[in-house]
Amino acid sequence: MSAITVRTRLWPVRLRSTPAVATAAAVVLACYLLVGLVGPLLIPYDPVATSVADRLLPIGAVRQDGTLALLGTDGAGRDMLGQLVHGARTSIVIGVSVVATCLAVGLALGTLAGYLAGWTDVAISRLIDVLMAFPGILLAIVIAGLFDQGMLVVVLALSVAGWVAFARLARGLTLSLRVRPWVDAARLIGVPTPVVIVRHIIPFVIGPVTALATTEFAGAVLSEAGLSFLGLGLPSSTVSWGQVIANGKDYLDTAWWISALPGLALTGLVVSTGLLGDHLTQRLGSSR
């Protein structure tokens, strides 16, 4: 089995796409999901509560009240473990929301463009070309900067150009599927166009599109962290790994753990998602 390049937004990682690698990545993602869903219920500390007396405590230090700061505290005395756990939930919720929105819009527009062709295909393709002319993160920064901070704004900002990849893939697959015998037969017997698309096109498109969604999830998580790092993402009342990394940039020499821990958590989520997504893409691609 040939080696593939797993391309995240951080760096290219050269690994072999094997079932073992995919299984390990899936296990890591399951752990992230478990931490994001259950972790905030188990952490006794408020991740946004400050304590001047407990600021910049190192990993394993003891707070003034005698409790253990397992992963230390930041410059405002906020518990790092609580911020990491709550940040995992934020990343997962935003990543899933962005991917679900982009998948729905991209799948709908892409299949319509590929099946109907004509002016519909031209209009949607030109819209795709326009959005591809601008970096997606730049559009997200502009949109996030125009509105008040909030999770809905972040999801919409990241979805404005995020659906393009799904639409291009769905359109390309639909163009090849629309000339298949079973689709021609359905049209000849008078099956309505919406029914043909839903029953005879989408079932063959949804697999590759779902594989793409896995890799796009990593991009959405990383983009959200970037927006939060710039102060354009979520409000301070919502913990984000990007915010935590930004909070620690002034303490890199004395309190490295503030930026390093969320950075490592973000890297693990992005890389494992990219590995699993590339494996699914390869498997689905070879099965078609």
Q: Could you read off the pLDDT of 23-71 as tens digits, one per residue?
A: 999 999 999 999 988 988 888 888 888 888 989 999 999 988 888 889 9
Cβ atoms of 128 and 168 closer than 8 Å: yes
55: helix, coil or strand?
A: coil
- Domain housing 221: 3-287
Q: Could you read off the pLDDT of 131-148 as tens digits, one per residue?
A: 988 888 888 999 988 888
Q: What is the reported pTM?
A: 0.87
Average pLDDT rounded to a whole number, residues 210-229 = 91
Helices and strands in the chain: count of H runs, count of E runs: 10, 4
Q: Could you read off the pLDDT of 225-273 as tens digits, one per residue?
A: 999 998 887 888 889 999 999 989 889 888 999 999 999 999 999 999 9
Number of Cβ atoms within 10 Å of the Cβ of 107: 23
Q: Say how far apart CA 176 and CA 114 lie, in whole Å.
A: 8
Number of Cβ atoms within 10 Å of the Cβ of 209: 22
What is the tally of structural domains in the chain? 1
Q: What secondary structure, in 3-state letters, does 125-163 show?
A: HHHHHHHHCCCHHHHHHHHHHHCCCCHHHHHHHHHHHHH
Taking Cα atoms as reference points, which of 222, 213, 220, 233 lies closest to residue 267?
A: 222
Q: Residue 132 belongs to a domain with what CATH number?
A: 1.10.3720.10
